[in-house]
């Protein structure tokens, strides 16, 4: 491995249950060193797959915190993996989050679709308010519709 292209990868794996409640795995942090110039997404995912014990009906969701937009980005290709390396190259330490989940749409796993999340509650409140109240430009500031619209604009309130 060329020391000028070596990068530490810190892999955080939150607690998960392996396949239908068979075995509980606690949160773990793993560290590996990779050559960013020689690593490709398929081989890297195969290495993670061997490292993280999971069931046949489960898959790994690998993401990194994108510094530009300050949100987690799902790694699905060589291009995204290289972008992750380039964003963290100055410290030569790439933090990754690997979530083990059942084979189902990723949208059901992400926090924004969680029924208890503030954003989901705000969307539901807006839908209910729209159904129960006539849409008009003269809506009072304290009405449920106005509060729900404001909450959606803020993205976090009820």
Q: What is the Rg, in whole angstroms, of the alpha carbon atoms belonging to the chain?
A: 21
Written as tens digits, the pLDDT of the chain (158 aa) is 777 888 899 999 998 888 766 788 888 899 999 988 888 999 999 999 999 888 888 888 999 999 998 899 999 999 999 999 999 999 989 999 999 888 765 454 444 555 556 656 666 665 565 555 444 444 556 666 666 666 666 665 44
Strand segments (E) across the chain:
6-13, 16-18, 23-25, 28-35, 58-66, 71-74, 93-102
Contacts of 76-84 spanning 24+ positions with Cβ under 8 A: 76/41, 77/41, 78/40, 78/41, 80/41, 81/39, 81/40, 81/41, 81/44, 82/36
Domains and CATH numbers, the chain: 3-104 (3.10.20.90), 111-154 (no CATH)
């Amino acid at each position: 491995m060329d020391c000028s292209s070596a990068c530490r990868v810190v892999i955080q794996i939150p607690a998960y249950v392996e396949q239908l409640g068979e075995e509980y795995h606690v949160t773990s942090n793993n560290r590996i060193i990779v050559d960013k110039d020689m690593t490709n997404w398929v081989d890297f995912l195969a290495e993670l797959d061997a490292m993280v014990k999971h069931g046949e009906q489960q898959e790994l969701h690998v993401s990194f915190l994108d510094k530009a937009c300050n949100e987690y980005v799902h790694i699905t290709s060589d291009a995204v993996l290289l972008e992750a390396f380039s964003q963290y190259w100055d410290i030569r330490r790439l933090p990754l989050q690997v979530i083990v989940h059942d084979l189902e749409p990723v949208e059901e796993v992400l926090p924004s679709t969680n029924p208890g999340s503030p954003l989901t509650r705000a969307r539901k409140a807006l839908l209910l308010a729209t159904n129960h109240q006539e849409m008009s430009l003269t809506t009072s500031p304290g009405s449920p519709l106005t509060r729900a619209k404001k909450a959606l604009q803020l993205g976090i309130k009820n």
